[in-house]
Structure 1
Amino acid sequence: MLKLKRGLSLLATLPLVFSLSACAGQIGGSGGSLLDTIKSRGKLICGVSGQLPGFSYVKSNGEYAGLDVDVCRAIAAAIFNDPNKVDFRNLNSKERFTALQTGEVDILSRNTTWSMSRDTSIGIKFTAVVFYDGQGIMVKKNSGIQKLEDLKGKSICIGTGTTNEQNLTDQMRQRGVNYKPLVFEDANTVFATYEQGRCEGVTADRSQLVSRRTTLSKPDDHVVLETVLSKEPLTPAVVNGDSKWFDMVRWTIFALINAEELGVNSQNVGQLANSNNPEVKRLLGTEGNLGKGMGLTNDFVVHIIKNVGNYGEIYERNLGKNSELKLERGPNKLWNQGGILYAPPFR
């Protein structure tokens, strides 16, 4: 009987083994890196929200736009010298990790918070922070609600599969405030339910609340409370176990940040290729072989900045003064300008 049980246990594990083997084949393609697969395919497949102005949304002309979108375009530019070689897949908060794990998308660039449990237990790896955020709550201006304690006994709309659920629970428990959570899978449903008045408040990352407020029928009737419930470092993620692809994505993001710090932008990148500054020379590939070390051309950063711009340019057109949102950069300023945005050096 003991031998039979052991045999059944072994058989039970076989589907999982085969499933993981299939995923590994999708990820690397015959043991190689996903980067090589993407090069052969001729395009990047990027998982985004598609419903969040400023981060990822579809404009009236059918084009995708936003910070998360531009991160993927920067990666495509680094690989192909063409930012348009990207297919975007809209994913809700519940399905996003499965899509990455199974190889449906190559990268998840979808306003996703880097947390320990996500980084260590579900087979994905976070690359580099592209936006430092915090969770907040939005309410109607005429509600009289000014702090979390004012939401006692009231209903709050929230998206399932997000860090926002646990954060809100923790904060309300700490304050001894009972509330009624209304949880939905789809972000559009979350905010539609709030606008219909079925909940007195709605919680999400503060940047998301500011973004979503612009889509409401009367944006000026709503306010985001000053209270910040949590730290939310928003970070693109890739599947675990492929260091070549992980490095390529991470250093593309670092290139955007370092380019801004060194004053390299889409307007002057052509001229600065002849710079005497050794840091600029290494960044732009006129000195050293940093690009080839990742399986790219040495001037891959030139392709990125020429086609997409540096981090500051990306921020300003999508979230900052040149956008509808006009979000102050705050902690997303460079480290030497009062923020915490920082990237390792190119050397």
Structure 2
Amino acid sequence: MRVLGAALAATLAAVMTLAVAACGPRGQEKTATEDAADHAPTAAPDFNSLTLQAIKRRGRLNCGVHEGLVGFAYTDNRGQWRGFDADFCRALAAATLGDANAVRFVPLTTSQRFDALRSGRVDVLWRTTSWTLSREAQEGVRFAGINYYDGQGFLVRRALNLASAAELTGARICVQRASTSELNVADWFRARGIAYTPVVTANEEQAREAYAREDCDAFSADISALAAARTLLTNPEQHAILPDVISKEPLGPAVKRGDEAWTSVVRWTLNGLILAEELGVTRQNVKAMADDSTDPRVRRLLGAEGEFGPMLGLSKTWMKDALEAEGNYGEIFARNVGSDSPLDLARGLNAQWDQRPAGLIYGLPIR
């Protein structure tokens, strides 16, 4: 009986322990009301961008761009900024301020660009900058999207009669210092056990000039940059871009970390320009489509239906304003780097997803 009593006592003690463990503070079980309160839905935080507020107060967007890259960001003979990235800056100014000319272009070197964002010197960086993990993790920036899918290649003299970069054994390669281009070249040659001599310069312009002086046998950079550099050489037809693409370079706008609402404003402005091309909205027909289109996707895009601009802290006609100023993605591409420009770059990966051949450009739904 004593053994049975001891066993019964141990069992009761174990049950009591489990009961206490299941209780809330001070050994009391949570009521159904308290448990429901722990899982009650919370309201979404307000959409509020301090960067957007600052832009509206000053009445101007500060946009960081390349110091001078034909096709992307450069000044014409009247001192006006032109190019693919410059047009996206203007479209963003139109979307946020209703005025495409309310933008101050800030030319930045490779080494200056991220510090300019962190310090608030620029509101957005639209400067042929590749989206990488280390840049988001270490540079204090966030990328808002991709507006150009690029890759790194090699520019060489046709007289060398090269068919592939694999034939550049022992070659001198001009490349820009402190860039992904420098790292990509090192990785590509090391992975293949090919010896080469890097000729490292401070910027792309100096790399191009060194190549023009024949201080190196090849110039390696993003293919879009090589196409731009070739147009500036004395005899462009004497130079060729090899078919090798040695990296993935997704180029897009970057903003300062910490203002996710501003990141969304930049992302959805870029996306709206992409979506407009898919839906057939152009600079020429945007007014008519805003008035007459029965397509709900077009009506939402142009502010004829819904409150999508105000959701971002912008006007209802934010995308209509941007499109009237600069046109859709395809128009911006064609006149600056595509078929209507001296670079004459094919759409390639930068074609819309639903075209043939298909590209990677894909408009997210505005709804």
Would you say same fold, with TM above 0.5?
A: yes
Answering whether residue 362 of structure 2 is matched by residue 342 of structure 1, we say yes
Pairwise mapping of residues 166-245 of structure 1 onto structure 2 (< 5 A)?
166-245=183-262
- Give the Cα–Cα distance (whole angstroms) in 2 for the partners of residues 85 and 148 of structure 1: 44
Name 2:8's counterpart in structure 1.
none
For structure 2, the residue ranges without an aligned partner over 5 or more in a row are: 1-47
Q: Does 1:270 align with 2:287?
A: yes
Residue identity opposite 1:95 in structure 2: Q
Counterparts of 1:272 and 1:163, CA distance in 2: 43
| 1:300-315 equivalence runs, <5 A | 300-315=318-333
Q: Is the 8 A contact 1:157 1:199 kept in 2?
A: yes
Structure 1 counterpart of 2:73? 56
Deviation, structure 1 residue 178: 1.1
Alignment partners' CA distance in 1, 2:185 and 2:164: 13
- Percent of residue pairs bearing the same amino acid type: 43
The whole-number CA distance in structure 1 between the counterparts of 2:218 and 2:181 is 13
- What is the alpha-carbon distance in structure 2 between the residues aligned to residue 153 and residue 181 of structure 1? 10
- Map Cα deviations across residues 297-317 of structure 1 (whole Å, 9 max, x no partner): 111111000011000110111
Aligned residue type for 1:291: G
Is the partner of 2:166 in helix, strand or coil? helix
2:342 corresponds to which of 297, 302, 324: 324
**Greater Rg, structure 1 or structure 2?**
2
Quote the residue 1:95 is aligned against: 112
Q: How far, CA to CA, are the matches of 1:86 and 1:278 in structure 2? A: 31
Measure, in 2, the Cα distance between the counterparts of 1:204 and 1:93.
13
List alignment gaps of at least 5 residues for structure 1: 1-30
SS of 1:253's equivalent in the other structure is: helix
Corresponding residue for residue 15 of structure 2 = none
Q: Which moved more, 1:319-328 or 1:146-155?
A: 146-155
Quick one: which amino acid aligns to residue 345 of structure 1?
P
What is the alpha-carbon distance in structure 2 between the residues aligned to residue 176 and residue 57 of structure 1? 38
Equivalent pair of 1:74/1:304 in contact (CA under 8 Å): yes
Which amino acid in structure 2 is aligned with residue 342 of structure 1? Answer: Y
**Secondary structure class of the residue paired with 1:52:** coil
Note if 1:290 corresponds to 2:305. no
Residue matched to 1:132: 149
Give me the whole-angstrom Cα distance separating, in 2, the residues matched to 1:189 and 1:56: 17
How many corresponding residue pairs? 317
Contact 1:156 1:179 in 2 (8 A): yes
Structure 1 stretches of at least 4 aligned residues deviating more than 3 Å after TM superposition: none
1:317 counterpart SS class = helix
The alpha carbon displacement at 1:217 in A equals: 1.2
Residue deviations 1:195-240 (CA, integer Å, cap 9, x gap):
0011111100001101110011111111110000011111110001
Contact 1:50 1:58 in 2 (8 A): no
The residue type paired with residue 203 of structure 1 is: S
- Is contact 2:49-2:262 (8 Å) kept? no
- Counterpart mapping for 1:131-170 below 5 A: 131-170=148-187
How many Å separate the matches in 2 of 1:103 and 1:144? Answer: 48
Structure 1 residue matching 2:104: 3-state secondary structure: strand
Residues 159, 187 of structure 1: 8 Å contact kept:
yes
State TM-score, norm by structure 2: 0.85
1:281 to 299, 318, 321: 299
State the Cα distance separating 1:82 from its structure 2 match.
Answer: 1.0
Match of 1:106 in 2: 123
Q: How far apart are 1:194 and its partner, in Å?
A: 0.7
Q: Aligned letter for 2:206?
A: T
SS at match of 1:335: coil
> Offset of 1:32 from its aligned partner?
5.7
How far the C-alpha of 1:86 sits from its partner, in A, is 0.8
